[in-house]
Structure 1
C-alpha cells in the first residue's frame, strides 16, 4: 500500500472513529433527554427503587453471612441471636428520629445521606469483625440506624409526589424493589460466601449500594425539579376530581417532599398522640406481626434451611429467593386490588379489612404448615404461600398509614415502624432461647402464626381509616 493510500485509510478511520464517538454521545444525550421528560414522580420512583434494592441487599445478606461468621469466630447460639438482632435495635432507634429529621432537612436529602452511610458501614464490617464480637455488634447496630430512614422518607416522598388514586401501585412498586434486593441477596450471597467468603459479600454489595446511593443523591440535589413538580401538579389537577386533589398530598409541599408550612401537620414532631387512637394501635398490632415473620425469615432462614432441611449453603439461596419473589408478587396484587376497589368507591374501612385480615390469617396458617413439613418441595410451597399473603398484607398496611395521616405520613410511619421493629430486634434472641430450650422450630413458627391471628382479629374490631391528623396538645408534641 502506497503512502497516499495509507494516509487516506488513516484519515477515513479517524473520521469513522469520530463519527462513532459522536453517535455514542448523541445516544447518551438522547437517553438523558428522554429521562428528563419523564414526570418527576416517575423518575423519583425509579431512583427510589434503586435505593430500596441497595437497602435490602445489605440487610438480607446478614443472615447468610452470620452462618459463616459464627463458625469462623466460634460464637455460640446466644451470640448468633444477638448478632442477628443488632441490626434491628439500631433500626428501631433510628425510626424514632427519622421523621423529625426528614421534616427538617427534606426526605430526599436524608435518604441520600443515609444510603451513602449504610453502604460505607457495610464495606467496613469485614475489617471490624476481626476486632471482636462487641465491635461487630456495634457496627451492625449502626448499620440498622443508617438504614432506618428508608421507610418514613419514601412514604413521605410518595405522599408528596404521587396522587391518592395511584398510591396503591406506588407502594407496591416500592415493596417490589425491596423484594428484588432481597431476591438478589438471597441468591447471590450464599454463592459468594461459598466461593469467596462472607467478607467479599459485604464488599460487593456495599459497593453496589454506594453507586445506587449516588444516583439518588443526584436526583435529591436537582434544583429544577420543583418546576417539574408544579407542572405535573397542574396536569394532575386538570384530570382528577376535586376531592382527590384536596387530599393528594401536593398542597403545602416543597420540592423536598416535606410540608412547607411546617405547622399543624408539618411532621416536625413525633406523633405520640396517635398512640391514643385505637385504629393506629390496631394497625401497629398487624405491623408487629408482619415484621416478626419477615425478620425471622430473613435472619434465621439460612440457618433453618441448612440445619433443619439439611440443604448445602450454596443452594439455600434458590429456596430463599422464592418467598422474596412471591412477596413482591403479593405486593403488586395488593396494590392493584387496593386501587381497583378505591376506584369502585368501596368504603375504605371495608376495603382495608377485606384485604388485610384474610391476608394475615392465610400467612399464619401457611407458616404453621411450613414449620411442620420436612419435605423440601412442600416446605417451600408453604413458605411461598405465606410470603405471597404477607406481600398483600404489606401493601394494605402501608395504605392504611396514608389514610390515617395523609399530610404527616413520615412522622406516623417513623413511630409505627419504630414500634413494629421491636419484634425484629428481640425476635432473633427469642428464637435462640426457644431453640436452646426446646429445640422445636415448629414452636417458633406457631408463635408467629398466633401473632397473625390475634392481630387480624384486633384490626377487624378496632381498625380504622379515619384521618387522625388533629392538632395535638403541646405537651404531646415531642
Structure 2
C-alpha cells in the first residue's frame, strides 16, 4: 500500500529544448521586497518607542498594550483576508494590502495620543493580514513543487534580515528628523512599492514574459492557474471541511510552535539579555543581531535542503517534514541557555535555536501542497490564524512568568516545550502531504440539503 506521495519518473518534470525564461524569479523578488517592507512596518514601532512614548506621555505598561494591538487584529483578520484573496486574486489583494498598511504607517506618525495610536495599530494589523496567504498562493502558482521550499525560504528571509539591515538607517532618521518622519518615510516607501506591484505582478495565465518552456516546467510541477481558478464562492461548508482535516491542524500547530520562538525574539529577547544576563545596552545591540543572522541562514538552508531532498528522493513527506521537524527540535535547545555561564555561550545557544526556527518556519511551503487549488487563500488564512495566536499568547505567558518568578527560567522552558509540541504535530498529526480535494460548492450544497 502506498502511504507517501512520490514523484515517479513519469511524473517528473519534462526536458525541454528551449531555454526557459525566468519570470518566476522576478515574481519572487517582488514577494521578497514586499515581505521586507511588511516586517519593517510591523516592527518599526519598537525602534520609535523610546522617543514616541516620551512625546505622547505613554508608560511602559501602556506601550505593552500598543505593541499587542497589532497581533489582535492581524490574527482575527486572517480568515477574512484569505476569503478576500480567493475572491480578488493575488494582484488586487496584495496591492490593496500594501497601500492600506502603508497609509496606516504614515498615520502612526501623525498620532496625537494613545487613542489614535491604538486605532492606527489595529488598522495596521487588518491591512497586513493578507500578506503571507498571498505569498503562499503566488508561490503555489508560479513555482513547481520541487522549487517551492527554496522560494518560500527566499521571501521569508526578509522577515529576519529587514530590520537588522535597515535598523541603523531608521535610528539615523529618528535622530536627524524625529520619530514622526521615520513613520512617514517608511510608509511612503510602501506606497511606492504598491504601485510597482500593481504594474509588475500578474498571474501565470496572464504573463507575457513567460515563454512556453517555463510554462511547461511550472505546469508539470503542479503550478500554474487558469482564469477560472481565480476565485471560488465562499461556503461555510468549505470552512468546516478544511477545519476537519488533520493536514490543516498538523501544519497550523507546528507553525504556532515556530512562531512562538519568533515572538520571543521580537519581544522579550532584549529584556532577557539586560535583566537576566545583565548585559549593557551597547553589548545587547551587538549581540541581538546574531540570532537573526542565524535565523536567516536557517530558513535559506532549510529551503535548499527541502528541495534537494525532493529532487533526490521524490518523497514529498521526507523533503518537507525532515527540515521542519529538525528545525523545531533545534529550537527546543533554547532551554540550554539557562545553564550557560558566559554571554558568548548564551548567544551561541540562542543563535542555534533561532537557526532551527528558521528551518522550522518553512511550514508555508506545505500550504501550496495541501491546499485545494481554488481555496489557497482560505487555507492560508486558517493556517495563519492558528499560527499567529502565538503573537498574543507568548508575550502574555512569558510576561506572567516573569512577573510571578522574576526570572526567565520557566519562560525559556515554555518556548522549548512548545517547539517540541510543534515537532510532534508534524510527526503525528499532519499525516501525508497531499492536496486536499473538496467537492464543488454546488454538489456540497445538494448533499447537505
Provide Cα deviations, 1:110-153, integer angstroms capped at 9, x if missing partner: 1112111111211221321x322x33222111111111111011
Tell me, yes or no, if the aligned pair for 1:159 and 1:406 is still in contact at 8 Å: no
Give the match's secondary structure for 2:157. helix
Give the alignment partner of residue 97 of structure 1, picking from 51, 74, 80: 80
Tell me, yes or no, if the aligned pair for 1:108 and 1:157 is still in contact at 8 Å: no
> CA–CA distance in 2 between the matches of 1:355 and 1:315?
32
Partner of 1:204: 185
Partner of 1:278: 246
Give the alignment partner of residue 39 of structure 2, picking from 27, 41, 56: 56
Give the match's secondary structure for 1:127. coil
CA RMSD of aligned residues (A): 3.2
Give the match's secondary structure for 1:436. helix
Partner of 2:119: 138
Partner of 2:16: none
1:121 aligned to 2:71?
Answer: no
Shift of 1:196: 5.4
Provide Cα deviations, 1:93-126, integer angstroms capped at 9, x if missing partner: 2211111111221211211121111112112213
Change (3 A) 1:148 1:333: same
> CA–CA distance in 2 between the matches of 1:223 and 1:293?
34
Give the alignment partner of residue 399 of structure 1, picking from 365, 377, 385: 365
Tell me, yes or no, if the aligned pair for 2:161 and 2:293 is still in contact at 8 Å: yes
Change (3 A) 1:435 1:44: same
Tell me, yes or no, if the aligned pair for 1:77 and 1:432 is still in contact at 8 Å: no
TM-score (norm 2): 0.84
Change (3 A) 1:363 1:344: same
> CA–CA distance in 1 between the matches of 2:51 and 2:339?
26
User: Where in structure 2 are the equivalents of 1:21-420 lying within 5 Å?
Assistant: 39-70=22-53, 73=56, 75-128=58-111, 130-132=112-114, 134-190=115-171, 192-193=173-174, 197-220=178-201, 226-228=206-208, 231-232=210-211, 234-236=212-214, 238-239=216-217, 245=220, 248-252=222-226, 254=227, 259-260=229-230, 262=232, 271-311=239-279, 316-365=284-333, 367-370=334-337, 373=340, 375-395=342-362, 397-405=363-371, 407=373, 408-420=375-387
Larger Rg, first or second structure (1 or 2): 1
Provide Cα deviations, 1:167-203, integer angstroms capped at 9, x if missing partner: 1221111112332323224454455556655434323
> CA–CA distance in 1 between the matches of 2:294 and 2:426?
24
Structure 1 unpaired stretches of 5+: 1-36
> CA–CA distance in 2 between the matches of 1:456 and 1:390?
11
> CA–CA distance in 1 between the matches of 2:369 and 2:72?
28
> CA–CA distance in 1 between the matches of 2:267 and 2:91?
29
Change (3 A) 1:269 1:376: farther
Give the match's secondary structure for 1:382. helix
Change (3 A) 1:94 1:223: closer
Shift of 1:236: 3.5
> CA–CA distance in 1 between the matches of 2:94 and 2:153?
19
Shift of 1:370: 3.5
Provide Cα deviations, 1:304-339, integer angstroms capped at 9, x if missing partner: 344444556566444333222322221111111111
1:449 aligned to 2:439?
Answer: no
Partner of 2:430: 463
Structure 2 unpaired stretches of 5+: 1-19
